[in-house]
A and B are shown apart, each in its own frame.
Chain A
Amino acid sequence: MAIIVDKNSVILVQGITGKQGSFHTSQMLAYGAKVVAGVSPGKQGQTVHGVPVFDTVAQAVEMFPITASIIFIPAPGVKDAAFEAMSAGIKTLVIITEHVPLHDELDIMAYAEKQQVTIIGPNTFGIISPGQTKLGIMPNSIYTPGPVGVVARSGTLSYEIANQLTQNGLGQSTVVGLGGDRVVGLSFTEVLAKFEQDPATKAVVLVGEIGGNAEEEAALYIKEMTKPVVAFLAGSSAPPGKRMGHAGAIIERGKGTFQSKVTALTAAGAKVAALPWEVAELVRQSMGE
């Protein structure tokens, strides 16, 4: 088992003929992901690493039972691409693109909620269920199948953590990148709830950082969880957060700092690692090994 995507996921790549789209299609295929089609308007009839290219998502969906799409479209076109995929009935979208305008993200998320679509990103490294499939740009080599779910806000930091887990003999069920932007599709809480339901996941690692109040919200849910959670947070040495004017401060009301996150997570029963290389040992302990 895994969450959100698994070996049966049938994948579309939007923006497949671009440099990143093409390269990561090859990497996903090499990992064993079922990438069956790509979309690049005006490029119908071409193939990329043997994958057929279509002009529109609707055409691709007529040809294949696509369940998920990964988007490698430049930022100004992301809203259009995401709406196209959602309108075609695809229920899982991974948006790799960074620098997507905030208001486009608001529009995408509102439509996704209406269509009951799961969105990962934007500005994410994607999602991988080790040994099964990956939709993303993460290195293929550092993951191994196993019982630890990982959910992260930042990409490279999650590679560091996944690598440490693997080196310590702790495989992963699914590793999810929420995305680094202010408005993204999935929250920590939603992913934690999926891990809680997933029989293959025995413990969860949450990789967070200062700013916003997503970690504090997550803490409320962690209190209810039966599975152990280990957290690592970046930003312990950052000077008090640059606030986005009064309104930001009114929303946060003292949340969003490193200390408020550590306090909330600890009170909820999560173990918070002070340094990245402490994570694996804490996971091992929390699983009773």
Chain B
Amino acid sequence: MKLYEYMGKDILRREGIPVPRGQAFLSPSGVADFAAQLPGIVVKSQVLSGGRGKAGGIKFPASAMEAEAAAQELLTSLVKDLPVHAVLVEEKLKIDREYYLAITVDGGKRKPLVIASAHGGMDIEEVPEEQIIKFHVDVHAGIQPYLGREVARRMGLPVSEVKPFSDLLVKLYHLFRKYDAELVEINPLVVSDGKLIAADAKITIDDEAAYRFPEWLPRVEERTDLELKAAEIGISFVELAGDIGVMANGAGITMATLDMINHFGGSPRNFMDAGGGAGTEATAKALEILLSTNPKVILVNIFGGITRCDDVARAFSQVKESIGISVPLVIRLVGTNEEAGIEILRQQGMSAYRNIEEAVAKAVELAGEAR
């Protein structure tokens, strides 16, 4: 789950990392009063995307009245094609220098990774490799202050900044572990009047750890209504732009099924990974979700392992009897309890392919005819 900047800064503040004085607003009301207390003002649109500055999502109003107008404008506009969830009204900092600091997980090394650069700000991806400092962390040792001093040395920070930087890195790592973060990124980490301040915050936390998130932590939802409905029955679903509805079991095979459709010249309507072990009820609901997206054809690719083919077939049979299946349904069904599954389908006047190549080719052909 990605957090909005103001939520991320709230966490930084709680953990003792300096952030600019600021407040989030869901409407322009109150913005002028708050802005009037600030020596300089910045109004930042809250969207879950980088590159807001270049996209016009950050404004520097000259007065409290202008701040309210800027808030009004941002709250009713799209930034990077996303609706603006809120605005963060902040004290505008005097910026002497901009650094980059992040902690994430390096899957290949199976360790947390600290990434730092004395060349922060926009376009960090363009900074040459040799100006980026990377440090893998042993989770048993954690980050001690010496590591912060070493990173600071390699970044070439002035002596006066070494201790504050090191303290900040220790706190950031503590936060990274405590909040089950996948990513904590401060870009830019600014030097303002000799102080280090997090001018932006990007925090992504691990949804799998949701059961141990603190109560007060806000929940951010990025999925569409249909994607949410699918998630409720334990199915991973992403809407796409094409016209062939797809259901498969397993992320890899679902992705490969989309590739195969593409190979034969078709275009998938969605990615639906019905998961391992989906039973009759979940599969029936999944099929109903697919039908609600009005595809030209539905292609089902099930290789039963944990998933039982007879459960899947029963689900199709159930949906056919209850709400009907209005579009051609191309089924490929093999694996656990395959014979029983095919017999259930046969009784409903449906049939299944064993061969994946034939099934995909047929689905693409039918979609072409229906176009």
A110 within 8 A of B: yes
Kindly specify which of B84-92, B156-164, B258-266 makes contact with the partner chain: B258-266
- Is A102's CB under 8 angstroms from B259's CB? no
**B252 and A156 within 8 A (CB):** yes
Contacts of B138 in A (CB 8 A): 110
Closest to A250 in B: B115
* Distance from A69 Cβ to chain B, minimum over Cβ atoms (Å): 19
A187 CB-CB contact with B under 8 Å: yes
Residues in chain B within 8 A of chain A (CB atoms): 50, 100, 102-108, 110-113, 115, 124-125, 129, 132, 138-140, 177, 180, 182-183, 185, 187, 202, 204, 206, 208-209, 211-212, 248-253, 255-256, 258-263, 268, 276-277, 303-306, 334-336, 356-357
Out of B110, B113, B256, name the residue touching A234 (CB < 8 Å).
B256
B139 contacts A236, C-beta separation under 8 Å: no
Contact present for A217 and B108 (CB under 8 Å)? yes
Residues of A close to B111: CB separation below 8 A: 106, 109-110
Tell whether, in the assembled complex, residue A236 and residue B185 are in contact, meaning their CB atoms are under 8 Å apart. Answer: no
On chain B, the residues within 8 Å of A152 by CB distance are 252
The 0/1 profile, CB within 8 Å of B marked 1, for residues 204-221 of chain A is 000101101110010000
From A3-11, A55-63, A192-200, A240-248, give the one contacting chain B.
Answer: A240-248
Chain A residues closer than 8 Å to B306, beta-carbon distance: 20, 137
A100 to B140, CA, bound (A): 19
Total interface residues in chain A, CB < 8 Å: 65
**Cα distance A103–B304 in the bound complex, in angstroms:** 31
A236 touches B208 (CB 8 A): no
In contact, A250 and B356 (Cβ under 8 angstroms):
no
With CB as the reference atom, state the residue of chain A lying closest to B141: A110
B334 CB, nearest partner CB in chain A, Å: 7
What B residues does A111 contact at CB under 8 A? 140
Query: In the complex the two chains form, is A209's CB within 8 Å of B253's CB?
Result: no
* Inter-chain contact B140/A157, CB cutoff 8 Å: no
The listed residue with most A CB atoms (<10 A of its CB), out of B104, B132, B336, B357, is: B104
Query: Are A246 and B304 interface neighbours, CB within 8 A?
Result: no
Chain A residue nearest in CB terms to B277: A20
* A102:B206 contact, CB within 8 angstroms: yes
Q: Give the contacting residue for A246; candidates B185, B248, B303, B356; CB below 8 A.
A: B185
Contact of A248 among B183, B209, B335 (CB under 8 A): B183
Asked if residues A236 and B113 are in contact (CB atoms below 8 Å), the reply is: no
A76 to B180, CA, bound (A): 13
In the complex, 25 of the A-B residue pairs with CB atoms within 8 angstroms, ordered by the A residue number, are: A102-B209, A104-B209, A107-B139, A110-B138, A137-B305, A152-B252, A153-B252, A154-B250, A156-B249, A156-B250, A157-B256, A159-B303, A160-B253, A163-B303, A184-B107, A209-B255, A232-B256, A234-B259, A235-B256, A237-B262, A245-B204, A247-B115, A251-B113, A253-B129, A277-B357
Nearest 6 A/B pairs, CB to CB: A154-B252, A156-B250, A157-B252, A237-B262, A101-B209, A156-B253
Give the distance in Å from the alpha carbon of A124 to the alpha carbon of B275 in the complex.
Answer: 13
Residue of A nearest to B241 (CB): A239
Q: Are A236 and B259 in contact (CB under 8 A)?
A: yes
In the complex, the answer to whether A137 meets B183 with C-beta atoms within 8 Å is no
Contact partners of B129 in chain A: CB under 8 A: 253
A30 lies within 8 A of chain B by Cβ: no
Verify B255–A106 contact, CB threshold 8 A: no
Are A247 and B102 interface neighbours, CB within 8 A? yes
Which B residues lie within 8 Å of A103 (CB)? 177, 180, 206, 209
0/1 interface trace, chain A 99-132, chain B, CB 8 Å (1 if under): 1111111110111011000000000010000000
B106 touching A251 by the CB < 8 A rule? yes
Complex interface: chain B residues within 8 A of A209 (CB): 251-252, 255
A110 near B140 with CB under 8 A, answer yes
Contact residues in A for B102 (Cβ distance below 8 Å): 245-247, 250
Q: Which of B108, B124, B183 has the most CB of A within 10 A?
A: B108
Given contacts A139-B336, A234-B255, A275-B260, 12 further A-B contacts (CB under 8 A): A106-B111, A110-B111, A139-B305, A153-B252, A156-B252, A157-B250, A235-B259, A237-B262, A244-B204, A245-B183, A251-B104, A251-B115
Which residues of B lie under 8 Å from residue A244 when comparing CB positions?
104, 182-183, 204
Q: Say whether A51 faces chain B, with CB atoms less than 8 Å apart.
A: no
Name A247's contact: one of B104, B276, B335, B356 (CB within 8 Å).
Answer: B104
CA distance A125 to B305 in the complex (A): 9
Q: Given A110-B139, A139-B304, A183-B105, decide whether A234 and B50 contact each other with a Cβ distance below 8 A.
A: no
A residues near B262, Cβ cutoff 8 Å: 236-237
Residues of chain B within 8 A (CB-CB) of A182 are 105, 107, 182
Cα distance A103–B356 in the bound complex, in angstroms = 38
Q: Tell me if A157 and B253 are in contact (CB < 8 A).
A: yes
CA distance A23 to B104 in the complex (A): 38
User: Is A138 in contact with chain B by the CB < 8 A criterion?
Assistant: yes
A96 to B140 CA separation, bound complex (whole angstroms): 25
- The answer on a CB contact under 8 Å between B105 and A155 is no
CA distance A227 to B125 in the complex (A): 38
The residue on A at minimum CB distance from B107 is: A182
Q: How far is the CB of A107 from chain B (nearest CB, A)?
A: 6
Nearest chain-B residue to A213 (Cβ)?
B108
How many Å lie between the Cα of A182 and that of B104 in the bound state? 11
